[in-house]
A and B are shown apart, each in its own frame.
Chain A
Amino acid sequence: MAKMTNLEKRMARWNSFSAEIRDAVETELKKEVDDMVAAIQRAAPVSDFEARPGELRDSVSAYPVQGRPAAWRIIVKAQDKKGRYYGSYVEFGHNTEDGRRVAAQPFFWPTYRSRRRGLRARILRPARKLIREMFPRG
């Protein structure tokens, strides 16, 4: 028997849950992702040097990962004229073409780090509550 990949294990586990539990997890996960996106947007700097002021902030978005249950990704999609993602340049700082140093304006990872504590517990809390209701303690 072929060994199951991690993704296959994850899919098997996910399918073993009832629909109520899956809904509870997905609902809470979406809520946490939305909150995270909103927090990153609030922290994102708005500069007059952008093609459209606020472009970086508005480009923060989230999308579900295809083929992987209960997984989302948050991405900063803002690009310059040459098609380069410049979110990381703002986050970590960079040198301009004329040699000037632009200081870092971290907005993405500090926001994530400030909110990641208890994130997974919060995502699973409604599902755990549902399980407790399904199988109450004697």
Chain B
Amino acid sequence: MARSDEHALLLSIDANIKSLETTLKKAEARVRAAAADMEKSGGRMENALGNPNIGRGLDNIVSDARQRALDAGANRLGVFGGALEALGPAGLAAGAGIGVFSAALMGALAAAQYADELADTANKIHITTTALQEYRYALRLAGGEEKGADQALEAFSVTLGKAQEGLTKAQRAFLLLGFSQEQIAAFRTSDEALRAVMEKLAEIESNPRRDALISLLGLDSMKPLIQGGVEEMERLRAEARAVGVVMDEELVQRGAELNDQFETLSQIIDVQLKSSLVGLAPVLIRLMEFAAQLSKMFGELASGLKSQAAGQALSVGVGEGAIRLASNFLPGGSNGLGVSLVRSLVRQLSGPSAIASAPALAPTIPTSNEAMIDRLSGGGSASGRTRRAAGRAAQPLKAVEVFDPEIMEILAALDYWQSVEKRGNELRPTLDVSGDFVATLDEQLQGARDATYQSLYDGVRTGLEAGFYGGVPGVVDYLKAQLMRAVLDSLAKTLAEVGADSGSGSSGSGSWVKTAVMAVLTGSFATGTNYAPGGLAMVGERGPELVNLPRGSTVTPHGLADIRPRASAGPVVIHADFTGAVVTEELMASFQAYADQVGARAAAEGAARGSAEAQARIYTRARNRLGR
């Protein structure tokens, strides 16, 4: 490969062609082996066709192939695999059956087509199918092509026919060979005439003359066989029969008949498959559309959860579920305690002048796109990139506005609750944590939350089903139901969980319901009031208080509301559980005032005591210095 030159540095590089040739030969050997296997398979197919019990043979082939396909899994199922796999093992088996049966059917059809073509060709050139197969085999071994035998025999048959009809041009070659008019007319088949012609041709010594006559007879393609002579041709034809490449006449005829049946059946199957695909197309398209909408919905939910209150995200694309949430907020149905309670809560939280209708909540729910973008991007000073991102996030939120005004109130309430709860969470570490009242209330509200969750789930599920099946009138078949059931269940569960946890912040599940009920309190009146707005209020949070109860008022007994003051004159310990609870501005102001008061008193006492101690220390030191 490399050598150095005495004078110049020289290096030869060449390719190892011999190695490449070995590789090529191995590859060709593999192909030959595969071809041999295929021929064996073809033989089995022929045997199956030749078997009196054709159906059983076909069944055996199909069963074997089906078993192999099942073992191989669903990857080889073709176009139906993906869809049928979703149906589980039954679908897998059905798909394997369809695919393998189609393959077997195609193989059997090919064999029958071969027999049919053989019969048609033999009829066309007026020889038997056996003779045609023998001529094909003999010509192939003599160096020609099988197709050439068909062409030559057909051309010879035409020439013979014309000669028998008396056409001079067609008779010319026969006459030159020494046949008489009577002999030409006496030939009954092309096979018989060809044999006689070949015997005459063998007697001609001049090769050019023999070639010219062969050409005149239209036997050019069979020249390799004719040149071998009649004896050689007969030997090859006998060999064809001996090695078994000649299909029996009766079998060929049955194969031709089978071909007609197969063609009819395959046409039926083809039409049926296409029809089923056409019928399935709307479902598949609908499924794809739904998947696209689903992905978009989840994206919007994620955006909403990131940028806005969870309650807003809840309502994006799930209007019906949100309505059910409001309607089932507390037991009592949709007409009374549902949406109206939300209004009441908002009114109590925001003050009497703030909430009368949805438009009054404009500051919390921006109505214009620009306002929405401002809110999401953090104001007009945000960069262009931030504002563009906010614009994208605002699109799903804009969808909120198309819902019922009641939804707007719900969203406003949830938004407000979240802000209030945040303040409560900030103050929680500074306060003593206990309180049976809140704990009991929590337990009671847990049940309400569960009921709300179930209602929300049902609503979301109903809404999704209506949305999906709404565009597909007619019967919901098994396939659609199977494909969609898991998707709908999963989606409804996810959305319901999002809805039930909305507004909870970091407080845990159920706390937003607790927050809502705590917010029903009209206030705390330690400092007294001339005009209580009515409704549930907290009293006694700083000690004994006198309240003027209206008729029919309810008093919660000790144990359930253990927040009454101690009777002693000692320091008042306030027990309260602010886990997820709302701390109103007024209540927090009172706590702050109390803390200030106690702190100031402690500071004054400390200062006075420190001053006294300092004076005493100075006095003692002076007395020691004076030696007294």
The chain A residues found within 8 Å of chain B, CB to CB, are 10, 13-14, 16-17, 21, 25, 29, 32-33, 36, 65, 68-77, 84-85, 87-88, 91, 108-109, 112, 116, 119-120, 123-124, 127-128, 131-132, 134-135, 137-138
Partner of B8, one of A69, A87, A135: A87
Minimum C-beta distance from A43 to chain B (A)? 12
Interface string of B340-360 (1 = CB under 8 A from A): 000000000000000000000
- Chain B positions 24-65 with a Cβ under 8 Å from a chain A Cβ: 24, 27-28, 30-31, 34
Residue B207 CB within 8 A of the other chain = no
Taking CB as reference atom, which chain B residue is nearest A111?
B11
Tell whether, in the assembled complex, residue B13 and residue A85 are in contact, meaning their CB atoms are under 8 Å apart: no
Given A33-B13, A135-B27: A13 touches B19 (CB 8 Å cut-off): no
Tell whether, in the assembled complex, residue B9 and residue A85 are in contact, meaning their CB atoms are under 8 Å apart: yes
Tell whether, in the assembled complex, residue A16 and residue B13 are in contact, meaning their CB atoms are under 8 Å apart: no
Contacts of A84 in B (CB 8 A): 7
Residue B4 CB within 8 A of the other chain = yes
Minimum C-beta distance from A31 to chain B (A)? 11
Taking CB as reference atom, which chain A residue is nearest B8?
A85
Given A134-B27, A138-B34: A124 touches B16 (CB 8 Å cut-off): yes
Taking CB as reference atom, which chain A residue is nearest B24?
A131
Partner of A74, one of B6, B10, B16: B10
Query: What are 15 A-B pairs at a CB distance below 8 A?
Result: A25-B15, A36-B13, A65-B14, A70-B14, A71-B14, A72-B13, A76-B8, A87-B8, A88-B5, A88-B9, A112-B2, A123-B15, A124-B23, A131-B24, A131-B27
Contacts of B9 in A (CB 8 A): 75-76, 85, 87-88, 91, 108-109
Partner of A124, one of B5, B8, B20, B34: B20
Residue B250 CB within 8 A of the other chain = no
Tell whether, in the assembled complex, residue A77 and residue B20 are in contact, meaning their CB atoms are under 8 Å apart: no
Contacts of B10 in A (CB 8 A): 73-76
- Bound-state CA distance A123–B71 (Å) is 41
Contacts of A112 in B (CB 8 A): 2, 11
- Bound-state CA distance A66–B463 (Å) is 81
Tell whether, in the assembled complex, residue A29 and residue B15 are in contact, meaning their CB atoms are under 8 Å apart: yes
Tell whether, in the assembled complex, residue A74 and residue B13 are in contact, meaning their CB atoms are under 8 Å apart: yes
Tell whether, in the assembled complex, residue A124 and residue B19 are in contact, meaning their CB atoms are under 8 Å apart: yes
Taking CB as reference atom, which chain B residue is nearest A107?
B9
Contacts of B23 in A (CB 8 A): 124, 128, 131
- Bound-state CA distance A70–B205 (Å) is 50
Contacts of A119 in B (CB 8 A): 13
Contacts of A75 in B (CB 8 A): 5, 8-11
Contacts of B13 in A (CB 8 A): 29, 32-33, 36, 71-74, 119
Given A85-B8, A91-B9: A72 touches B14 (CB 8 Å cut-off): yes
Partner of A137, one of B1, B5, B30: B30
- Contacts beyond the supplied A123-B15, A131-B23, A135-B27: 8 A-B pairs with Cβ under 8 Å: A13-B18, A25-B20, A32-B13, A36-B13, A65-B12, A71-B15, A77-B8, A88-B7
- Bound-state CA distance A116–B14 (Å) is 12
Residue B17 CB within 8 A of the other chain = yes
- Bound-state CA distance A127–B16 (Å) is 11
- Bound-state CA distance A101–B9 (Å) is 21
Contacts of A128 in B (CB 8 A): 20, 23
Minimum C-beta distance from A132 to chain B (A)? 7
Taking CB as reference atom, which chain B residue is nearest A14?
B17
Tell whether, in the assembled complex, residue B12 and residue A71 are in contact, meaning their CB atoms are under 8 Å apart: yes
- Bound-state CA distance A137–B30 (Å) is 7
Minimum C-beta distance from A138 to chain B (A)? 6
Residue B231 CB within 8 A of the other chain = no
Minimum C-beta distance from A36 to chain B (A)? 7
- Bound-state CA distance A43–B202 (Å) is 77
Tell whether, in the assembled complex, residue B20 and residue A127 are in contact, meaning their CB atoms are under 8 Å apart: yes
Tell whether, in the assembled complex, residue A120 and residue B15 are in contact, meaning their CB atoms are under 8 Å apart: yes
Tell whether, in the assembled complex, residue A132 and residue B27 are in contact, meaning their CB atoms are under 8 Å apart: yes
Residue B21 CB within 8 A of the other chain = yes
Contacts of B2 in A (CB 8 A): 112, 116
Contacts of A33 in B (CB 8 A): 13
Partner of A135, one of B15, B20, B30: B30
Contacts of A32 in B (CB 8 A): 13
Tell whether, in the assembled complex, residue B15 and residue A85 are in contact, meaning their CB atoms are under 8 Å apart: no
Contacts of A137 in B (CB 8 A): 30
Contacts of A73 in B (CB 8 A): 10-13
